């Protein structure tokens, strides 16, 4: 109690000095706060928050690294799939070409047989004519460009007599 009453009786010069001393001590303590806390093994809220932020940042970096690795694996897989698709596509194209070649050869043979048969007769009916023209259309659709079919067979077939049977 005596200390409090003496504090209240202090004149303004001593009061200012006392206040300045308190401010100086407070500034010193604030400046040395981190050192004091570290020295005694304590952690401030700020240090705890910073440590948590550092931990979160490191976790995000790890996740980003794993994501990049996964993306790289996916890209490698996609590249492998693309190579497989290209290979299968090439095989399908080759198979289609071979099938077209075989079909074209069969059609060309049938056109030749029909040409020899109807050339001897010099006539045909509507159904035979349509079937023969259908063979030529199928032959052309399969990529047929045989000069004989277009320069000899088609023009000569126009001269054959169409009969109704």
Q: Long-range contacts made by residues 147-151, C-beta under 8 angstroms, separation at least 24?
A: 149/108, 149/111
pTM of the model: 0.50
The pLDDT of residue 14 is 74
Query: Which residue, chain included where needed, has tokens 């996740």?
Result: 63
pLDDT per residue as tens, the chain (165 positions)? 666 666 566 677 777 787 888 898 888 877 777 676 677 766 767 778 888 999 999 999 999 999 999 999 999 999 999 999 999 999 999 998 888 889 988 998 999 999 999 999 999 999 999 999 999 999 888 888 877 888 899 899 999 999 986
The pLDDT of residue 60 is 95
What is the distance between the alpha carbons of residues 37 and 43, in angstroms, rounded to a whole number? 6
What is the distance between the alpha carbons of residues 109 and 101, in angstroms, rounded to a whole number? 12
The pair of structure tokens assigned to 15 is 């009061």
The pair of structure tokens assigned to 87 is 């290979």
The pLDDT of residue 3 is 66
The pLDDT of residue 33 is 72
Please check whether residue 128 is in contact with residue 90, taking contact to mean a CB–CB distance below 8 angstroms: no
């Amino acid at each position: 109690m005596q200390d409090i009453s003496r504090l209240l009786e202090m004149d303004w010069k001593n009061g200012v000095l006392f206040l300045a001393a308190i401010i100086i001590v407070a500034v010193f303590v604030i400046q040395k706060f981190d050192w004091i806390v570290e020295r005694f093994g304590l952690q401030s809220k700020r240090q705890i928050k910073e440590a948590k932020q550092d931990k979160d940042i490191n976790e995000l970096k790890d996740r980003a690294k794993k994501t990049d690795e996964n993306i790289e694996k996916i890209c490698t897989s996609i590249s492998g799939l693309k190579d497989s698709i290209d290979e299968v596509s090439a095989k399908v194209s080759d198979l289609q070409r071979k099938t077209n070649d075989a079909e074209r050869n069969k059609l060309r043979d049938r056109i030749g047989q029909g040409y020899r048969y109807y050339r001897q007769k010099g006539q045909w009916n509507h159904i035979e004519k349509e079937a023969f023209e259908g063979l030529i259309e199928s032959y052309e659709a399969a990529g047929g460009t045989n000069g004989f079919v277009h320069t000899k067979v088609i023009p000569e077939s126009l001269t054959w007599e169409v009969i109704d049977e």
